[in-house]
Chain A
Amino acid sequence: MLTILFDGVAYGMLLFVLACGLSVTLGLMNFVNLAHGAFAMAGGYITVVVVNRWGVPFLLGLPIAFVAGAVLGAVLERTLYVNLYAKPHLDQVLFTIGLVFMSVAGVDYIMGSSQQFVNIPSWLEGQINLGGVGIGRYRLMIIVLCGLLTIALQLILAKTRFGSRLRAAVDDQRVARGLGINVGAVFGLTFAFGSGLAALGGALGAQILGLDPIFPLKYLIYFLIVVTVGGTSSITGPFVASILLGIGDVAGKYYLPSLSAFVIYSIMIVMLLWRPQGLFSRSASR
């Protein structure tokens, strides 16, 4: 029981790192980015290449994945995404679906369609026993790492000048612009950072979520659930949403294996009906 809770929390933390970039993109620019998972997949594959083929230590592979993801995000944002902010949602959906298709086929070509695994160091394998509860070391590391990241994110958002600019821009883009905040630059940076986080999440999650070319499509719905249920006005919302989703999904798979996906989707639909703007969001919509 506690093991399930623990696994669920680890899973949820992972989902949060994967999806929090998306929630900012959506909240800041009202941009529907269905290709967010592609960055996570890129991070996962970069780690596979770097760790397995080049023999870089796993813990060094994670920051490499983050940086690579952030660079990839920055490049795509500056070249392609920037053309689409003013376009209707339909165009954004088409564009990002196109991007997903290209990334899926491209990765399939480069890495093959089979599932990939990252060689994790031996000290992360196996379980430790804490008061009768078996705890996977890898999952423990995820919780610690993602927990630290979350705290860091919260601090950046709450305490730094960049954070307050970002919050101002999310709250009201027009006024923020009027106050002299360069919303485009803030957004570009955030997008890159969010992509980097997604890549990091993909690298960490390769072991738990499984890494294959259809990753962006397979987990798209999870990211979207986190974002829509959590709302886009803070990072606490998505955080709580991902933890709940993680625990719910793991528990569902354990207790009702044949129904779990069904339960998750149904809960999502009900949730959206109940609070279309997200559980933790203000009622104001744009």
Chain B
Amino acid sequence: MALAADSPPLAAEVTGFLTRRARWSLLEIAFWLLALASIWVFPSKHLILTEICIWAMFALSLDLILGYAGIISLGHAAFFGFGAFAAGLAAKYGYIQEPVIALVVAGLLAAALGFATSFLVLRGSDLTRLMVTFGVALVLSEIANKFSDITGGADGLQGIEIKPVLGRFQFDLYGHTGYVYALIVLFLMFVLARRVVRSPFGLSLQAIKGNALRSSAVGIAVNWRLVAIYTLAAGYAGLAGAVLAQTQQFASLEMFSIDRSADVLLILIIGGTGYLYGGLIGALIYRFAQDFLSDLSARYWQYWIGFVLIMMVLFGRVFGGILAALIIGVTVWFKLDTGTSLLITAATLLVLGVVREPLLKWTGSRWRRALAGLRRKPAGTSTGASHAGRA
């Protein structure tokens, strides 16, 4: 601050930089207009779109800690489930009748839980973080299971009756109200998240992700920044869970499971981390891919999910994703039965693993540079200032 006051041109430059970073680009506006239009364009798809919105909120929350602060979590579902049960219980036992207030309260409660557990996450390496986050989710799941007379235990929380939103808009069977509700919540969450990550605070998080030791050397209070973003992300996950409980009028122990934590990780990875839209786009792709894959083989769609994950790790997010889609496409095209296609993909994977190095070399640096450009583009368009940052 003192530095900025001493040299006005620098202060102006910094302000200009931050303002440019925060500007909404045309692409972003178009994205949200499209989302808004979907309300009228796809009225028959509102149920699935609501689900996508909820996944998007959840992935957005994970992006805050993974994409911006570099915290790997294997138990983010803890807060999701907590929010869902908070909202569900509030409605079922009539503590809070009004959905919006219940939603906010559920979010705040999840954030409080996030604050309490954030101190566990500060310690140790990636592996310790993985375990602690995983452990927290397991503990919550156990607690919910223990108090099965309140939470419904393995059967889940049933018989939730949600009152009309703002006392006016009743949730209907076709999910129209639910979708508009979820979309508005998602948008508000997104705007806030965008504001947060584009602020100096967001920049400091990225610095911590880059190198925690150096960030503390330039005067960033590493631990408190991490606590703050973890708390916010937990609150976000809680909101996502609460919206799910309200729109589906149901909450279950499955919401705490590692499957859910892994799914949201996958969604974020599909969409890409660190530019906020990743979770939204990822949720869209994931939900439709899930539909497609369960049509393919209802019981084994997780196999394909795993396959896509591995391909994305081995060959880069974009190239690997396309390659995986191609291979799955081939098995569909030739109408292979489940066993053959499982076998063929597994064999292909092994072969691809062996030829990966030469293959990546062969595709050449130029092709890879083009890909890297593609991959950066979404981030570039949304910041618009990455050039300025480099200059």
| Interfacial residues, chain A to chain B (CB-CB below 8 A) | 26, 32, 75-76, 78-80, 82-84, 87, 89-91, 93-95, 97-106, 108-109, 113, 217, 220-221, 224-225, 228, 258-259, 261-262, 265-266, 268-269, 272-273, 276-277, 285
Decide if B310 touches A108 in the complex (CB within 8 Å). no
Chain B residues close to A by CB (< 8 Å): 66, 72, 74, 120, 123-128, 130-132, 134-136, 138-139, 142-143, 146, 258-259, 262, 265-266, 269, 299-303, 305-310, 312-314, 338-339, 342, 346, 349-351, 353-354, 356-357
Q: Are A89 and B146 in contact (CB under 8 A)?
A: no
B146 surroundings in chain A (CB, below 8 A):
258-259, 262
Is B302 within 8 A of A101, CB to CB? yes
| B300 and A89 contact, CB distance less than 8 A | no
Taken together as a complex, chains A and B put the C-alpha atoms of A228 and B130 apart, in Å, by 11
CA distance A268 to B131 in the complex (A): 9
Residues A106 and B303 in contact, CB atoms below 8 Å apart:
yes
Contact across chains for B350 and A80 when beta carbons are under 8 A apart: yes
Q: Are B299 and A26 in contact (CB under 8 A)?
A: no
B63, chain A: closest CB distance, angstroms: 13
Complex Cα spacing A82 to B306, Å: 18
Contacts A89-B127, A99-B306, A228-B127 given: A266-B72 contact, CB under 8 Å? Answer: no
Contact A98 B72 (CB under 8 A): no
Give the CA-CA distance A96 to B283 in the complex, in Å. 21
- Cβ B313 vs Cβ A106 within 8 A: no
B81: min CB distance to chain A, Å: 15
Known: A89-B126, A94-B309, A272-B132. A265 touches B353 (CB 8 A): no
Give every chain A residue within 8 A of B123 (Cβ-Cβ): 272-273, 276
Contacts A98-B309, A262-B139 known; A269 to B354 CB distance under 8 Å?
A: no
A114 to B262, CA, bound (A): 23
The answer to whether A83 and B356 touch (CB under 8 A), given A93-B72, A102-B346, is yes
A91 to B262, CA, bound (A): 13
What residues on B are CB-neighbors of A221 within 8 Å? 131, 134-135, 138
Contacts of B356 in A (CB 8 A): 83
Complex Cα spacing A272 to B342, Å: 39
Q: Summarize A's interface: helix, strand, loop or mixed.
A: helix
Report the Cα distance A75→B338, complex, angstroms: 24
Considering only CB atoms, which chain B residue lies closest to A78 in the complex?
B354
In the complex, the number of residue pairs spanning A and B with C-beta atoms less than 8 Å apart equals 145
Which B residues lie within 8 Å of A82 (CB)? 353
Residue with the greatest number of chain B CB neighbours at <10 A, chosen from A32, A98, A285: A98
The answer to whether A98 touches B310, judged by C-beta atoms less than 8 angstroms apart, is yes
B135 touches A269 (CB 8 A): yes
28 contacts between A and B (CB under 8 A): A79-B351, A79-B353, A79-B354, A83-B314, A89-B72, A93-B74, A94-B309, A97-B309, A98-B309, A98-B310, A99-B310, A104-B302, A104-B303, A104-B306, A105-B301, A108-B299, A224-B130, A259-B146, A262-B146, A265-B142, A268-B135, A269-B120, A273-B123, A276-B123, A276-B124, A276-B128, A277-B124, A285-B125
Task: State the CA gap A225–B130 with chains docked (Å).
Answer: 11
A-B pairs with lowest CB-CB distance, top 3 = A101-B306, A98-B309, A105-B303
* A90-B66 contact, Cβ under 8 Å, with A83-B357, A272-B128: yes
Q: Max chain B CB contacts within 10 Å: which of A90, A97, A262? A: A97
Known: A89-B127, A259-B146, A268-B135. A79 touches B350 (CB 8 A): yes
Q: Which residue of B lies closest to A26 (CB)?
A: B127
Contacts of B72 in A (CB 8 A): 89-90, 93
The answer on a CB contact under 8 Å between B309 and A95 is yes
In contact, B303 and A102 (Cβ under 8 angstroms):
yes
Contact of B306 among A75, A102, A265 (CB under 8 A): A102
In the complex, what residues of A have CB within 8 A of residue B306's CB? 97-105
Chain A residues with CB below 8 A from B301, complex form: 105
- B131, B136, B300 interface centre (most CB from chain A within 10 Å): B131
Residues of chain A within 8 A (CB-CB) of B302 are 101-102, 104-105
- Give the chain A neighbours of B338 by CB distance below 8 A: 109
Q: Contact check, A80 vs B310: say whether CB atoms are below 8 A apart.
A: yes
